[in-house]
Structure 1
Amino acid sequence: MRYTNIPFFAVLSLQVFLFGVQAQTASLPACPDSGIKHNCSGKEDYPGGATYTGEFKDGQRHGQGVYKTANGSLLTGTFVANLPSGKIAYVYSSGDTYVGDIKNGVLQGQGTLSFISGDQYVGDFVSDLRTGKGTYVFKNGDKYVGDFVNGKFNGSGTFYFLASGSLQGDVFTGDFKDDVRSGKGVYVFANGNRYSGDFKDGRPHGKGVLSFANKDQYDGEFINGEITGKGTYAFANTDVYSGDFKSGKFNGKGAITYKADNRLKGDSYQGDFVDGLFSGKGAYQFANGNRYSGDFKNNTLSGKGSFKFASGDSYDGDVVEGKFDGQGTYVFANANKYVGEFKDGKFDGRGSFFFLANDSLKGDVYAGEFKDGQRSGKGTITFSNTEKYVGDFLNDSQTGVGTYTFKSGNRFVGIYKNNLPDGEGTYFFANGDQLSGVFKAYEFIGSGKFVFASGDTYVGEFAAGKFNGKGTYSFVNGNKYVGEFRDGNFNGLGTTFNSKGEVLSQGVWASGKFERATSVKP
């Protein structure tokens, strides 16, 4: 027999019980050494090693007595017709103890079962098994109060996690099946979280509501203790997500609405999620009226997508981390359109800009290079009147070296600044004439050279777009005039030479006519 680990309260109960039995049996006469034992107190040894000490009636154990089994178990209490019935105290050979009701040799009624391990059950027994209402206290301090069937937690009950550890302070109230939480229940965590809903195999499984201490709340499906399936997650800051979940994160199809008072207030997203992040196909509606539809990656607008802006503008093309980046088309509310390359949200690279708005630029088209949203680099702009500029651009203007072709057929090749000639250049006339020199806004200034289609040339000073000042006019036949000009004519002092360089005339000219001879200073 082992008694060293029997709980103190169990030993105390046994001592009180045994004292009562001994006091009662002592009042009966001793049984005879032979014959039938009747209304007496005595002892009987049984084959196999069991013994009984107590009251007898009609040769049977009847009344108060102590029965010791061959393996060392000790039962003290009331016997009826050889079987213990009524109140007993039972010390098992294992060291476990039972104090309570018994009927016809079977534990039946109320009792306390104390295990040598330190666990204890107090409650109902049926047919030797813990069945009915009861309380089970574990050695580590955990406690169950509720229904039992066939020795296990079955039915409704409350489990208190009192042992030190990660679960200390948690409480579950609800349905049990074979010692396991199964059915409906409420699990209150020590940290303030609370789950109410379905359980299976001890874990949340099915429909349930998980309320967090920080005021967040999830209402939806659970699988094997994890938030998985369809559900709605309401954040404490009033943001709300509804859709698919997997392993506690937004996974699959879903929609989130931002209601909190911050920079996202009024925004919403509907589409694919991966591990809590926007990833896949989706649509993001901004509070300011802008909308994006397309690809998402790791919570950013990335891939192929379309923007619809509240202003009426729109974009369709490549997007990287929320910015236009790659190939795309941007259409302005006024109908202007850009098609080409983007970088960091701006026109950058090769592209074409179509001026379609109802203004002075309508019908113009630019094709070429862009930088930081402006025409910069090499490009061609074709105007609605069929005129064209081909050349350099800088900061959205014709700046650098370029060629401008007029509707008339005239053409200018030279240096431009802010959309106008500004520096060296050559103006080619449709009739074959050419003017080379320094230009300012299509006006020729200073000295230059004019080549006629006929082959004649002029080299000299200009003013108001005409030969004015000193210059040399060379004829295709080799003759030439060297002298003063006015309004495109020989005017003033001048000398004419033949092809051999010989002087033909020298003197004063007026409106292209020789007036009189005079000496001309070299």
Structure 2
Amino acid sequence: MKQILIITFAFLLFTTPLFAQVQESGVLYLWEISEEKIWKSFGDDETQQKYKGEIKDGKPDGLGIRLFLDGTKYMGQWQAGQKHGQGTLSFADGEKLTGEWREDKEWNIIKYDADGRLKDKYVEGVKLVNNRKAGVLFFRQEQDIWGWYESGDEVKDYKYVGEVENGKPNGWGLFTYPSGEMYEGEYKDGKTHGQGSFNYPDGKRGVGEFRENKPWNVTEFDNESNIIGEYLEGVLKVEVIEEGILFTYKEDGKWIWLENGDVGDGGKYEGQIENEKPNGRGSLIYRNGTRYVGEFKEGRWNGEGTFTFPDGEKWVGEFSKDAPWNISWYDKDGKIIAKWSDGVKQ
């Protein structure tokens, strides 16, 4: 029932475990009000752009994913609501831009088409044209020495397809492992160096900047595009996240949490767990149809969240110990009915 999200990141001769650290994460929706774009904690998945990840001051800030209505997706770092740092913008037709962004603009970026062919590069915000020769190389060990060769075994050897200079990968290329892993991105003198993406057979991936075969500024995602790990300047940020399902019912005025149960007894929770209680981000559905989505602490609503009634009315804002704290109460048409300020209804 419980899942510990742990992933190992390996490239060539370098193997290091990579774990997740997610802080103050949540979900935001992009609203267009009077020609102004504003992020809010509630919205419609079918008609609005959606963000999932770290948040600061009500805007995307840190690591997160933005989903566009046309199928475009950006996964990576944010600052004050803009793409800023390492990330990948993927289009529905398969084209991708991956690398470093600054204030929503391409900075050090590789653009390639749906077949993985290099289309463009941006270096410090300037688009470049690359004229290196393309080729095929194999990487294997001979007499205890690892090296690059122009011929090899398609099944047993590591294979590189891309730009070559001085008999080594230099520039952009695709490197495949016999075990199914794949790296696509920049090389320098035969080593991963620059922007790239390391992809696992099960759908997990590490995206960002590599230096001399090692992750430098790299964010890792699981096969559902959830952030599960991060390197910053070569240093691993470590935290284990436990997620799962709990059931709850009320006994003698207290809510009891169990690993097994039935939503008909009281409610069902899905999300982050600590000490066998909801702690962190999650959703709780009660048997009467009401739903709370947001932050929990020791089994209680605590922090930013949305409580939705069966008739469509909502409480949106900050909760404290299962009670409204700084909350706006909306009717089903989105009009404000009432407000709470520091726990007092206005």
TM-score of the superposed pair, with normalisation by structure 1: 0.22
Higher relative contact order (CA 8 A, sep 6+): 2
**Structure number with higher strand proportion:** 2
TM-score of the superposed pair, with normalisation by structure 2: 0.32
- Work out which of the two has the higher radius of gyration on C-alpha atoms and give 1 or 2: 1
